[in-house]
Structure 1
């Protein structure tokens, strides 16, 4: 299953529309569920909900093989903690999808890591999704907690 999430604060119609187009024309039969936020876009090929409770969100992530998201750190960390293949498409400030281009910088930085595929815009989404489908289920999880060495370093810093 592919789970698409745009976060809880705002719509991201460009991402939802691009995944909807991909599902409709390239991947009929692929199970895709999208959390689309306060979107005015009405998906044609995606099962969707505007909002999910935290429990519903976590259940959708747990069921998914691939997470498609904006480049928000909450979605990224949740996907990595659960060992999910991740496809990111950042919101853009020049399109007024966010207040600045911090997600572009985040996506570029994360795109170098295993299990994370980045589509900088809709034209790159097909390739990112195709790569993610090939790579799904081969990712290592990260811990939800800081490593003992990091905790010790922070303790030393605070004590100094």
Structure 2
């Protein structure tokens, strides 16, 4: 199953949702697709969707899928990578009224350079990447939380002395 999540920013991401609908209509995507469509005004015709998911719904869908197609938000990307999902990220772009600037280009680029995800900049690249991603091997996310907490505790202990 493919989970499409476009975040909760107050911007539409219609071009991604339209492209996925087209690929399903043309039978180029044959697996089940579910989307969290956010503030987009496009209503998918060929796959199930909900505008917003609560935390439990989001986790249920995330657990069910093997691929995630997402915008370039760090939370969405990190959440999917932590779950070991194959991630395709497409940045929201200012020129399409999808965000206030193009910062997601840099975010997506960095995650791809670290070999955690596949990046596409144009929705027309989606079909090929959906097919190819099955064979991609990505880095496994390893939490650094304990090391960060240890570092903070050491710093606090030095300050207190």
Partner of 1:146: 145
- Secondary structure at the aligned position of 2:4 is classed as strand
Partner of 1:4: 4
- In structure 2, how many angstroms separate the alpha carbons of the residues matched to 1:14 and 1:147? 40
Structure 1 counterpart of 2:89: 88
Counterpart residue number, 2:107: 106
Alignment of 1:6-85 (within 5 A): 6-10=6-10, 11-85=12-86
SS of the aligned residue for 1:68 comes to strand
Asked if 1 retains the 8 angstrom alpha-carbon contact of 2:29 and 2:127, the reply is no
* 1:28 Cα offset (Å): 4.8
In the TM superposition, what is the alpha-carbon distance from 1:135 to its structure 2 partner?
3.5
Structure 2 CA distance for partners of 1:38 and 1:157, relative to 1, 3 Å: same
Cα deviations by residue, 1:63-111 (Å, 9 ceiling, x for unpaired): 1100100010110111011111100000012222111111011111111
Matched, 1:116 2:117: yes
Residue 154 of structure 1: CA displacement? 3.5
Instruction: Identify which range, 61-70 or 92-101, moves more after superposition.
Output: 92-101
Question: What residue ranges of structure 2 are gaps of 5+ in the alignment?
Answer: none
TM-score, normalising length: structure 1: 0.86
Partner SS state of residue 76, structure 2: helix
1:71–1:91 Cα contact (<8 Å) kept: yes
For residues 142 and 13 of structure 1, do their structure 2 counterparts lie closer, same or farther at Cα, with a shift above 3 Å needed? Answer: farther
Q: Which runs of 4+ in 1 moved over 4 A?
A: 156-160
Q: Which structure is larger by alpha-carbon Rg, 1 or 2?
A: 2
Q: How many residues align?
A: 157
Q: CA deviation at 1:23?
A: 2.1
State whether residues 83 and 139 of structure 1, in contact with CA within 8 Å, keep that contact through their aligned partners in structure 2: no
Q: Structure 1: how far apart are the matches of 2:152 and 2:122?
A: 38
